[in-house]
Amino acid sequence: MSQPEAAQRAEARAREATTPLGDRIAAFGPIIGLVLLCAAGAMLNSDFATLDNALNVLTRTAFIGIIAVGMCFVIILGGIDLSVGSMAALIAGCVILFINWASGAFGSPLLAVIGGAALAVVLGGVFGLLHGILIAKGRIEPFIVTLGTLGIYRAYLTYFADGGALTLDNALADLYAPVYYGSFLGVPIPVWVFLLVALLGALILNRTIFGRHVQAIGSNETVARYAAVDVERVKILTYMLLGLCVGIATLLYVPRLGSASPTTGLLWELEAIAAVIVGGAALKGGHGSITGTVIGAILLSVISNILNLTSLISVYLNAAVQGFVIITVAFLQKGRR
Amino acid sequence: MSMQTRRSLMLATAAGLAFVATSAAAEPVNLGVSIPAATHSFMGGINYWANQAKKDLEAKHKDLKITIRTAANAVEQANQLQDLSTVTKINALVVFPFESAALTRPVANVKAKGAYVTVVDRGLTDTSAQDAYVAGDNTAFGKIPAEYIAKTLGGKGNVVALRGIPTTLDNERMDAFNGVLKGYPDIKLLDAKYANWNRDDAYKVTQDFLTRFKEIDAFWAADDDMAFGAIRAIDQAGRKDIKVIFGGAGAKDMVKIILDGKDPRIQANVSYSPKFIYESIKLTAEARLKGEKLPATTIIPSVLIDKSNAKDFYFPDSPF
């Protein structure tokens, strides 16, 4: 009993010692992948390398990217969240219902939209808190908790939407639209928010005690407990952080189409997890970087962008190409796992 | 003998022979309805109209009982069919199969137990598992937009298409669309990509189409959900070259746009209303109450919706 534990501890120590260098090496895999993909894209279609296309791709990456930053924390912690797509859909639905109702009740459409945006973040935080409590205090596997809520959230959205779509009233949609369609210094708002969330995420992960604790728990929970880390509290906060990220992503998503339907956010959880893993994190926890995650998320959108810009291969094979690239990039950095 | 007297005579006879009459009249119909769960707008519409049919028909016929089951996937639907047959003991079934091949055997089992089976929209791989088949007209769904686009563009221009999920149904629509365009050599279909009947996917694919092609005259988004995503992307890009955006299936918001005449690019649509589930349930229930059968195949026609007839296709209470 004590021998494997000691070995585990030694391994964890060794891993911790190499983390900073490891992280730097890890970032190369996705960067190489992204550069190769972009070169291919530019060769296949001259419009690929235009600023407009780059901004389109970055803007649409923002949702998954922001969620992936939160997911990165959860995966480093050694956890998982399968519910983020359903959660985003339900939050979007609730925000739309709220804004439509509030514009009449408050008498001010602007106030309603601001309230709706705030509600998105609050709901995300509450859902995340709920996951954290169930996982940390209730001691249920994160896989099971979030598998459960995956179904619950989407079912409630379908119920609220009566099986159809919830749609923002036209005037309100116009008022809210700049949050997605507007830009600052020529760069769309969602890209700025994505950048901000990523910077904050990197700061929290690498420069705060909380970040250290997340990594320590992911490396070895028992050791972290011995080291007097408040494991429960850190876990709850981590899931809450992801919830907040989902809330922020949804806040940006709602003005894009002004509608939420039961297909909203379908498979986002897998895209976010793929972004984190392609970005060099270990699914079993302990390792991961925000830079890698951001590049991973961009890489995934670039693939579908290139496929849309060309008609090289049969459209039936789009998903296969995505799969091949994910596996290749993961292979490029397998050395450190 | 007038109709009236004949009927009262028959009633009298029936009253006199009460015992025989109950067994001779068509028996009460215990109808099961098995449909996919409401996971997108169109299925939301299917669910809405199925429940509407239950409400209307049960109020109208006291010998009719309707049980609706919704399934999230083919396996669940197969289980529900088994339950409907053995637990609910249905004697008639209206089924919208999740998948054709996977549901053929389970539906055949229900029929083997003596229930009358009407299959809706997605067919079975073995038609002997059904008594009747009711479907929308997918060929017209592809043909009508092609004809409209060709006419509106004066037989010359560039078209792009957004397709649904790779399925036989989608192929049928696309083939019909291409078939019409063959007659117009000056109309060029630049490309057709899958946007999976989904707004988000349609938005992305449209953005990329707009990046790739500098001159597009018409968009065929083969479903209104996709059309809404495409419109957003086109408006965001500020493209003025697109003259026609043609969706499909007659979603209420799209029909409203046509009714209001607000958007010059959106003047027409093609009907493929989820209301056909209502018709299927009604036809099946009423035929069975009389002990009759349905024709082997009933095609609910898809027709061009434009300003002149849009009000007949506008159902503000339906989720679709």
DSSP string of A34-84, one letter each residue: HHHHHHHHHHH-TTTTSHHHHHHHHHHHHHHHHHHHHHHHHHHTT---S-H
3-class SS at B274? coil
Q: How far is A110 from chain B (nearest CA, A)?
A: 22
CA dist A16 and A242 (Å) reads 24
- The pLDDT, as a whole number, for residue A25 is 55
Residues of chain A neighbouring B315 (CB-CB closer than 8 A) = none
- Which chain A residues are within 8 Å of B166, Cβ to Cβ? 315-316
Q: Which tens digits make up the pLDDT trace of B90-130? A: 899 999 988 888 888 889 888 988 899 999 988 888 888 89
CA distance A157 to chain B (A): 10
pLDDT at B135: 87
Share the mean pLDDT of chain B.
86
Cβ-Cβ pairs closer than 8 A, A with B, add up to 89
Distances (CA, A) of B291 to A104, B24, B32, B118, B287: 53, 11, 17, 14, 6
Test A308 with B208 for CB contact under 8 angstroms. Answer: yes
The answer, for A263 touching chain B at a CB cutoff of 8 Å, is yes
Residue contact A167–B203, C-beta within 8 A: no
CB contact under 8 A, A262 and B48: no
Residue B52 exposed, middle or buried by CB count within 10 Å (0-12, 13-18, 19+): middle
What does DSSP say about strands B304-306 and A183-184: parallel, antiparallel, or unpaired? unpaired
Distance from CA of B102 to the nearest CA of A (A): 21
The pLDDT of residue A9 is 54
Per CB-CB distance under 8 Å, the chain B contacts of A256 are 203, 232
Q: Which two tokens stand for residue A59?
A: 């803007």
**Residues on chain A touching B47 (C-beta within 8 angstroms):** 163
- What single DSSP character describes residue B312? G
Q: Are A295 and A57 in contact (CB under 8 A)?
A: no
Do A45 and B41 lie within an 8 Å CB cutoff?
Answer: no
Chain A residues touching residue B38 (CB < 8 angstroms): 158, 162-164, 262
Chain B CB contacts of A318 under 8 Å are 194
Distance, in Å, from the CA atom of A143 to the CA atom of A244, rounded to the nearest integer, reads: 19
Q: A114 at the B interface (CB within 8 A)?
A: no
Other residues' Cβ atoms within 10 Å of the Cβ of residue B312: 12
Tell me the sheet residues that pair with B118.
Answer: B94, B132
| Cβ-contact A94, A254 below 8 angstroms | no
Q: Indicate the residue of A161, A163, A309 with minimum beta-carbon distance to B212.
A: A309
Region of B196 please: left (phi>0), alpha (psi -120 to 50) or beta. Answer: left
pLDDT value at residue A24: 56
Question: Which chain B residues in 114-173 lie under 8 Å from chain A, judged by CB atoms?
Answer: 163, 166
Partner-chain residue, chosen from B208, B232, B319, that has the shortest CB–CB distance to A305:
B208
Interface contact flag, A165 B198, Cβ < 8 Å: no
- Closest-CA distance of chain B to residue A329, Å: 24
pLDDT tens profile B160-194? 999 988 877 888 899 999 999 999 999 999 999 99
Provide the token pair at B139: 């060929």
The answer for residues whose C-beta is within 8 angstroms of residue A125's C-beta and 6 or more apart is: A240, A243, A244, A247
For residue B133, what pLDDT is reported? 92
| Cβ pair B267, B258 in contact under 8 A | yes
Contact B212 A305 (CB under 8 A): no
Chain B residues inside the 8 Å CB shell of A309: 208, 211-212
DSSP A164: S
* Residue B19: predicted pLDDT: 40
Q: Are A198 and A67 in contact (CB under 8 A)?
A: no
**Can you give the pLDDT at residue A26?**
53
Q: Please, what is the end-to-end C-alpha distance for chain A in angstroms?
A: 25
Nearest-Cα distance to chain B for A297, in Å, is 16
Which residue among B163, B191, B232 sits closest to A257, beta carbon to beta carbon? B232
Mean pLDDT, each 10-residue run in order, chain A (337 residues): 50 51 62 89 87 90 95 96 96 95 88 94 97 95 95 92 84 89 91 96 95 94 91 96 97 90 87 91 88 93 86 77 83 63
Distance (Å, whole) CA A323 – CA A205: 29
Name every chain B residue with its beta carbon within 8 A of the beta carbon of A152: none
Six-digit token string for B18? 């009460």
ipTM score? 0.71
What is the chain A residue with the closest CA to B274? Answer: A164
User: A322 CB near a chain B CB, below 8 Å?
Assistant: no
Series of mean pLDDT values for 10-residue runs along chain B (320 residues): 46 42 61 87 88 92 89 84 85 89 86 90 84 90 94 93 86 93 93 89 93 93 92 91 92 90 91 89 91 88 90 85
Contact B66, B88 (CB under 8 A): no
- Kindly provide the residue ranges of all beta strands, DSSP E only, lying in chain A, ordered along the sequence: 166-167, 183-184, 187-188, 259-260
Q: Who's near A6: CB < 8 A, 6+ residues apart?
A: none
Q: Is the CB of residue B47 less than 8 Å away from at least one CB of chain A? A: yes
Closest CA to B177 of B223, B138, B136: B138
Dihedral sign for Cα A175, A176, A180, A186, please.
positive
At a CB cut-off of 8 Å and minimum separation 6, what does B139 contact? B172, B173, B176
Identity of the residue in B48, B211, B229 whose CB atom sits nearest the CB atom of A162 = B48
| Residue closest to B205 by CA, chosen among A277, B216, B145, B174 | B216
